[in-house]
Amino acid sequence: MDPFILSRIQFAANISFHILFPTITIALGWVLLYFKLRYRRSSDEGWMKAYHFWVKIFALSFAFGVVSGVTMSFQFGTNWPGYMQTVGNIAGPLLAYEILTAFFLEAAFLGIMLFGFRRVSNRVHTLATLLVAFGTTVSAFWIIVLNSWMQTPDGFEMRGGKAFATDWAAIIFNPSMPYRLVHMLLASGLTVSFLISGLSALRWLLGDRSDAMGKALRTGVYLAAVLIPVQIAAGVQHGLNTLAYQPQKIAAIEANWQTRSHVPLLLFALPDEARHENRVEVAVPDGASLVLRHSAAGAVPGLDQFAGNHPPVLPLFFAFRIMAGTGMLMLLVGWTAAWMLWRRGTLTRPLALVLVPMAASGWVATLAGWYTAEIGRQPWLVSGVLKAADALGPVPAGAVATSLAAYLIVYAVLLLAYTGVILRLAVRAAREGDRQPEPGVENQPLGQPVRGSG
Amino acid sequence: MSFDPAIILPLIFAGLMGLSILAYVILDGFDLGVGILFAAADDTERDIMVAAIGPFWDANETWLVLASGLLLVAFPAAHGIVLPALYIPVTVMLISLILRGVAFDFRAKVGLPVKPRWNFAFCLGSITASLAQGYMLGVYALGLDQSAAGILFGLLVGLCLTASYAAIGAAWIIYKTGGALQRKAVLLMRRALVFTALGMVAIALAAPLASPRIFARWFALPEMILLTLLPLVTAALFAALWAVLARLPAANDRYSALPFMLMAGIFTLGFAGLAYAFYPYVVPERLTIFAAASAPESLGIILVGVIVVLPAIIGYSIFAYRVFGGKAHDLRYD
């Protein structure tokens, strides 16, 4: 295989593995702060037990996020040196601000948040939790700014083949940034709310009726029920923004080969890129025109406008539908569970059995969404500025293939271990109550009961 | 003295990058060292050793992100030359750091039967990450020389850096623990120091022989007179360290922080010698910091952030170290 494809697969593998964990930590940080604040107001130990259960998953996810993120910043240099050499003047400051304003903040206060409960006052511990949650969100802000700038670049000029910043406000608040940021933060909220609901439902299935489990379950389910309609609305707005700035991406998502009016909304199809047509179509008449142009007669851009300059149709078509389909499933399950908890105050067995696998729904939707966004940017690395193929470095295919194989093996093993440990934490909490021995003292009993120090 | 931003800014950023690398090798150096010393510890000792670095390692690794980030953002041209040339060791280091970081968390959360596996991963990841870092440092010092001699020199530096990390890791354990583990750390540190000293002497002899540029740089009059101070002071620090270790553990835990401070001093001097050998190159013999730098406007924007944020980073890092000051106890979330 050629180094270009291998390097792309490697970067995709790195970034796919990485995004799984920030998607959890960004919103879980705020949920932990919520648990902490509820505890401070009510002195109800259930909230603190919920906090201590979920802070372990936060710690593990955070460690994964950090180590997998380091890999990516090195990949820019090892595999894609043309990227920084062309747009380094813009990407550089954005990445530097992420490190300076977010990474150190979250890393320094993470220690206090995780292990400082008895060493600092309750107030300082709450502040540390707040700063970690804030840090993860600031980090998301800067990286979304950079990604959005690569999608819809603005505020720069090209001189001698290099991008130079002319307007930092336009760079930061580039056209797709606000939409992408909101969409991603909501995605993180949904990932976490379904993860909390799913693991709590697992504990419920194992007979756990503890107060801490119930508090977490209700938090997860109600949060999911509130966020999912907001996310669907935000997603539609993000799509309309993409239509305005990256119409070729929308044309590929819709597998619409010709620019025309009365474009149907394809529920399913088999796009055939060689023949420029779809082989099977299950469609809602005029649907795409109605959604994108708010009129059946509205013209929707087709792939014919972008010959040789549009992303591959098949992966985009399916990635988008997996994301949107998962979103619909989240709506159905989230609202059903919320209604059930609200009216009957408890889960039912079938509902719990659905909620458990839905714990992974956020990951599925987030990955599918990012594939839609990033494959949809191809063949460009920075839209209209730099093609991915032109940023490739000189490393031979054999070396890339070796490193790729090593990464894939490590990622597969770690993902299995991560899932196993999280399930184990839930099963143990269900069987033994929220009193697991703590890190480093696994074989010793917990010294004192879980209680805050004022 | 010129105040041309195209001269001043690359100098400032080269300095910042140097400081970040130094902060990284000292701070994550002791984390990696503790991982290396896992090989010589039993299970109870391992739990205390992890408790001694648990609240800090994440922030410590962030200095690597800052150092590589500064190379990436301030000297993108160099980043694009150095990293592809070091592709394999970089990959080894990254995978090792992944293993090290997650093993840290896993070993505390899995059942007892599988805990040894993650202990092993933690130790192995720390060793291979240290070797890879030292190898890269050696190859880089010789101007990315990948000949057999370059690779041998890289391996030599790799071993020396691994020994140095083990030594500073032992110094941290001396500082953070007491009793039998502290006594054991004193013994381990003396052993690691022997290899560190041998390695540093070998590097100081091999580098000027392998690279005429370093030879010319180190043995040019009149700078050489001042430069002679560097190995002399380093040797003095080694001697002081040896003397302190002979008296440890002392009554009332006196001097327990001294080995770490002396070791940090040795790291700083060794690093200064290497940095002096490079200047003004960021890719030895090929690219100066001035030719590799980003546009002054972009560097200026970053510098504003650095000036505003770096004091805060240092402030809250010190606060975090103070919160977890004193001897290490069991790490617990509650």
pLDDT at position A76 is 84
CB contact under 8 A, A92 and B98: no
Pair of tokens at residue A113: 């948040």
Beta-bridge mates of residue A156? A165
- State the burial class of residue A448 (Cβ atoms within 10 Å of its Cβ: 0-12, 13-18, 19+): exposed
Nearest CA in chain B to A124: B323
Q: Measured between alpha carbons, how far apart are the two ends of chain B, in Å?
A: 56
Per-residue pLDDT at A453: 31
CA distance A66 to chain B (A): 8
Three-class SS of residue A446? coil
DSSP β-bridge partners for residue B283: B287
**What integer pLDDT is reported at residue A440 of this predicted model?**
35
Residue B10 inside a domain? The answer is no
Nearest CA in chain A to B323: A119
Q: How far apart are CA A446 and CA A444, in angstroms?
A: 7
Residue A442 confidence (pLDDT) above 60: no
Return the residue matching tokens 């500073």. Answer: B168
pLDDT of residue A413: 93
Q: What local confidence, expressed as pLDDT, does residue A436 receive? A: 42
Angle (nearest 5°) at CA B174 between B173 and B177: 70
* CB pair distance less than 8 Å for B73 and A88: yes
| B72: containing domain | 30-323
Q: Place A226 in a pLDDT band, splitting at 50, 70 and 90.
A: very high
Distance CA B268, CA B113 (A): 42
* Overall average pLDDT of the B56-76 stretch: 86
Q: How confident is the model at residue B330 (pLDDT cuts 50, 70, 90)?
A: low
CB A81 within 8 Å of CB A393: yes
Tell me the H-state helices in A287-312. 287-293
Q: Is there a contact between B323 and A403 if contact means CB atoms under 8 Å apart?
A: no
The model's confidence at residue A300, banded by pLDDT at 50, 70 and 90, is confident
| Residue A39 in tokens | 């505890």
SS3 readout for B6-68: HHHHHHHHHHHHHHHHHHHHHHHHHHHHHHHHHHHCCHHHHHHHHHHHCCCHHHHHHHHHHHH
Q: What whole-number percentage of chain B has pLDDT above 70? A: 97
Q: Largest Cα–Cα distance of chain A, in whole Å?
A: 71
Task: Render pLDDT for B90-145 as a digit per residue (tens, 0 to 9).
Answer: 999 999 999 998 998 888 888 778 888 899 999 999 999 999 999 998 888 777 87
Looking at residue A260, what DSSP letter applies? B
The one-letter amino acid at A173: F
A183 contacts A163 by C-beta, under 8 angstroms: no
Classify residue B204: in a domain, yes or no.
yes
Q: Look over chain B and give the mean of its residue pLDDT values, rounded to a whole number.
A: 86
Q: Do B72 and A168 touch (CB under 8 A)?
A: no
- The DSSP letter of residue A99 is I
* CA A125 vs CA A12, A48, A120, A276, B179: distances in Å: 37, 12, 6, 59, 31
The alpha carbon dihedral of A339, A344, A347, A350 has a sign of: negative
Computed over every residue of chain A, the mean pLDDT equals: 88
Residues of chain B in contact with residue A104, where contact means CB-CB under 8 angstroms, are: 59, 62, 66, 309, 313, 316-317
Average confidence (pLDDT) over B33-59? 88
If one counts every other C-beta atom within 10 angstroms of the C-beta of residue B60, the result is 20
Q: How far is A452 from chain B (nearest CA, A)?
A: 8
Number of residues that this document lists for chain A: 454
The gap between the terminal CA atoms of chain A, to the nearest Å, is 61
Based on the number of CB atoms within 10 Å of its own CB, is A42 exposed (0-12), middle (13-18) or buried (19 or more)?
A: exposed
Rounded to whole angstroms, the Cα distance separating B222 from B213 reads: 16
Look at residue B1 and tell me whether its pLDDT is greater than 70.
no
Question: CA A201, A205, A211 angle in degrees (round to 5)?
Answer: 65
Give me the pLDDT at residue A454, please.
28
Q: Does A4 touch chain B (CB under 8 A)?
A: no
Contact (CB<8Å) B333/A56: yes
pLDDT tier at B332, thresholds 50, 70, 90: low
Shortest Cα distance, chain A CAs vs residue B172, angstroms: 17
Pairing of strands A277-284, A380-382: unpaired
C-alpha span between A241 and B211 (Å, rounded):
57
> Which run of H or E residues covers position A268?
strand A265-272
Spatial CB neighbours of A149, under 8 Å, sequence gap ≥ 6: A90, A91, A94, A171, A174, A177, A382
pLDDT given for residue A254 in this prediction: 86
**B2-7: which pairs have CB atoms within 8 A and are 24 or more residues apart?**
B5/B296, B5/B299, B5/B300, B6/B290, B6/B293, B6/B296, B7/B290
Nearest CA in chain B to A436: B109
Question: Chains A and B: how many Cβ contacts under 8 Å?
Answer: 260
In the beta sheet, which residues pair with residue A266? Answer: A283
Six token digits for residue B292: 């590799």
Q: Answer yes or no: is B294 within a domain.
A: yes
pTM for this one?
A: 0.89
Question: A357 to each of A17, A164, A196, A440, A453, how far by Cα in Å?
Answer: 19, 47, 12, 31, 37
Are the C-beta atoms of A183 and A235 separated by less than 8 Å? yes
Task: Identify the pLDDT of residue A256.
Answer: 84
Tell me the nearest-neighbour CA distance from B273 into chain A, angstroms. Answer: 26
Task: Provide the shortest C-alpha distance from residue B136 to chain A (in Å).
Answer: 13
Q: Give the closest residue to B271 by CA, choosing from B157, B149, B167.
A: B157
Residue A417 touches partner B, C-beta closer than 8 Å: yes
**A149 touches A174 (CB < 8 A):** yes
Does B14 reside within a domain? no
Render pLDDT for B67-84 as a digit per residue (tens, 0 to 9): 888 888 888 888 888 888
**Residue B298 located in a structural domain:** yes
Q: Does A118 touch chain B (CB under 8 A)?
A: yes
Per-residue pLDDT tens over the stretch A51-83? 989 999 999 999 899 889 888 888 888 889 888
Share of chain A above pLDDT 90, in %: 52
CB-CB contact of A203 with A426 (8 Å)? yes
Q: What angle do CA B95, B101, B102 make, to 5 degrees?
A: 95
Contacts of B74 in chain A (CB under 8 A): 92
Alpha carbons A359 and A418: distance in angstroms, whole number: 14
Q: Do A112 and B320 touch (CB under 8 A)?
A: yes
Interface of A with B in 22-61 (CB under 8 A): 48, 52, 55-56, 59-60
Would you call A96 and B70 a contact, using CB atoms and an 8 Å cutoff?
yes
Amino acid at B268: T
Residues on chain A touching B323 (C-beta within 8 angstroms):
111-112, 116, 119-120
Q: Is A161 exposed, middle or buried (0-12, 13-18, 19+ CB in 10 A)?
A: exposed
Distance from CA of A77 to the nearest CA of B (A): 5
Over the stretch B214-225, which tens digit does the pLDDT of each residue have?
Answer: 788 778 777 778
CA distance A133 to B156: 43
Q: What is the spatial distance between Cα A332 and Cα A328, in angstroms, rounded to a whole number?
A: 6
Exposure on the CB side of residue B311, measured as CA atoms within 13 A? 3
Assess whether pLDDT exceeds 70 at residue B6: yes
* CB neighbour list of residue A17: distance below 8 Å, 6 or more residues apart: A68, A411, A415
CA A25 – CA A18 distance, rounded (Å) = 11
> Structure tokens of A86?
């062309």
Residue A441 has pLDDT above 50, yes or no: no
Specify the pLDDT at position A439: 40
Domain locations in chain A?
3-157+169-259+301-432
pLDDT of residue A437: 39
CA A431/CA A436 separation, integer angstroms: 10
A99 and chain B: CB distance < 8 Å anywhere? Answer: yes
- On the question of pLDDT at A443 being above 60, the answer is no
The rounded distance, in Å, linking the Cα atoms of A416 and B236 is 51
Residues A34-47: tens digit of each pLDDT: 999 998 888 888 88
Categorize the per-residue pLDDT at A451 as very low, low, confident or very high, splitting at 50, 70 and 90. very low
Q: Cβ A116–B306 below 8 Å, yes or no?
A: no
Q: What is the mean pLDDT of residues A346-352?
A: 91
Question: Does B6 map to a domain?
Answer: no
Look at B109 and A105 and tell me if their CB atoms are within 8 Å: no
Q: Peptide bond preceding B284: is omega within 30 degrees of 0, i.e. cis? A: no
Query: Which chain B residues are closer than 8 Å to A113 by Cβ?
Result: none
Cβ contacts (< 8 Å) between B319 and chain A: which residues? 108
Among the ranges given (A87-101, A152-166, A262-276, B199-213), the one the predictor scored with the smallest mean pLDDT: B199-213
Q: Does A77 touch chain B (CB under 8 A)?
A: yes
Residue B139 lies in a domain: yes
